[in-house]
Amino acid sequence: MSHKFPYKWYLKDGYPAKGIEYHGSKVFGTFICGGGSSMGYKLAGFDHLGGVEIDPKVAEVYMLNHKPKHLYVEDIRLFNQRKDLPEELYHLDLLDGSPPCSSFSMAGNRDKDWGKEKQFREGQAHQRLDDLVFEYVKTIKKLQPKVALLENVKGLIQGNAKAYAKKINKEFTKAGYRVQLFLLNAASMGVPQKRERVFFIGLRNDIDLPKLVLDFDESLITFKQATNDIENLFDENVTDSALKYWKTTLPGKSFSSSSFFNWIRLNENDAFPTIASACEKLHHPSVCRPLNLEEIKRGGTYPCDFVFAEIKGKYLIGMSVPPVMTAQIVHQIWLQWLSKIEKQTK
């Protein structure tokens, strides 16, 4: 069922990916970050119009690499209050959203942070993060796209956060959508990374089509396969204590010291583990060093020629949905839903 989207690719080669037709379905994004999802849509033949991003520095990087038609550098709450949006945003084929997920991650404070304002990173405004999923649903209600997609961490359907997941389902229903919930692993989709993510995918009630089927079965791509053409370069210095624990850590395991919490020595015969914003903790399997940027690009399926400007590349990739993961999902949405709608309306 999957399409072979390449995990090694270049922006200079243009869109869509080889073997994919450009159909030009209109998509707009929220919480667009560096554009991981945006690139996935374009690889899959969509016309990505731009999006909403609160961080000015990240938005600059987005503008540099994507040159969007519409870009709103502001809080999603302010965007939802706008009365000056272009008409084409009210006729979208698909609306995409990946609200910040730290509030639902199984790591960190989790439940203790719910309802509190936080500053997600330097330069951003203080804001509540746990209610951003519902702000995004307000965007869906406002724009009424044919299809709405919400991506978040697996933790959203675990423990106390299940109540949030149920409420998201309910809000999608109130907005006029039949929603399906998927837990998907990027490693089964041609991404050399074990990254599990939850996707709420809603189809507007006035569109009569069968349920979406997502069943990806691509072979595992190992770290060795994905990076064998990358020069073994050091980005950062390694301390003697880190070297000591790296040597005694089996490939694929975490360092056995609380001083190196979540530091991992990768296994060259397995896929990358989840690449998060703190991916400097991921260490090479055969040399004691953090993974370099080129390796992180490959694991995150970011283009080799992406320009990060003033933003740390590893951080941005860790914050992004892998482009190939998005491409696989939305290619199926096009094949199973949007292409059928297009035929019905002709």
* Successive 10-residue mean pLDDT values, the chain, 346 residues: 88 97 98 97 98 96 97 97 98 95 50 49 54 94 98 90 90 97 97 97 98 96 97 79 93 92 95 93 94 96 97 95 98 98 70
For residue 3, being part of any structural domain is answered with: no
In sequence order, which residues have a C-beta less than 8 Å from that of residue 321 and are 6 or more positions away? 36, 37, 40, 98, 151, 197
- The amino acid sitting at 65 is N
For residue 6, being part of any structural domain is answered with: no
Q: Look at residue 103 in the predicted model and tell me its pLDDT.
A: 55
In this structure, the answer to whether residues 162 and 37 fall within a common structural domain is yes
In this structure, the answer to whether residues 335 and 309 fall within a common structural domain is no
CA distance linking residue 52 with residue 32, whole number of Å: 6
In this structure, the answer to whether residues 119 and 160 fall within a common structural domain is yes
Closest C-alpha to 101, from 145, 165, 166: 165
Which domain range does residue 104 map to? Answer: 11-217+318-345
For residue 2, being part of any structural domain is answered with: no
For residue 333, being part of any structural domain is answered with: yes
For residue 5, being part of any structural domain is answered with: no
In this structure, the answer to whether residues 236 and 322 fall within a common structural domain is no
CA distance linking residue 55 with residue 52, whole number of Å: 9
In this structure, the answer to whether residues 54 and 107 fall within a common structural domain is yes
In this structure, the answer to whether residues 30 and 57 fall within a common structural domain is yes
Which tokens hold the place of 72?
């709103």
For residue 104, being part of any structural domain is answered with: yes
User: Is the separation of the CB atoms in 223 and 254 below 8 Å?
Assistant: no
- Give 69's DSSP letter: S
Closest C-alpha to 211, from 247, 238, 241, 182: 182
In this structure, the answer to whether residues 213 and 111 fall within a common structural domain is yes
Give me the catalytic one of 101, 279, 288, 304. 101
In this structure, the answer to whether residues 212 and 228 fall within a common structural domain is no
User: What is the reported pTM?
Assistant: 0.91
In this structure, the answer to whether residues 142 and 75 fall within a common structural domain is yes
Domain count, the chain: 2
3-state secondary structure of 283: strand
Q: Look at residue 122 in the predicted model and tell me its pLDDT.
A: 44
Catalytic-residue membership of 288: no
Which tokens hold the place of 328?
């696989």
CATH of the domain at 340: 3.40.50.150
Q: Where are any strands of DSSP class E within the chain?
A: 26-30, 47-52, 70-72, 94-97, 117-119, 126-128, 147-153, 177-185, 196-204, 253-254, 264-265, 282-283
For residue 284, being part of any structural domain is answered with: yes
In this structure, the answer to whether residues 90 and 176 fall within a common structural domain is yes
In this structure, the answer to whether residues 227 and 136 fall within a common structural domain is no
In this structure, the answer to whether residues 194 and 94 fall within a common structural domain is yes
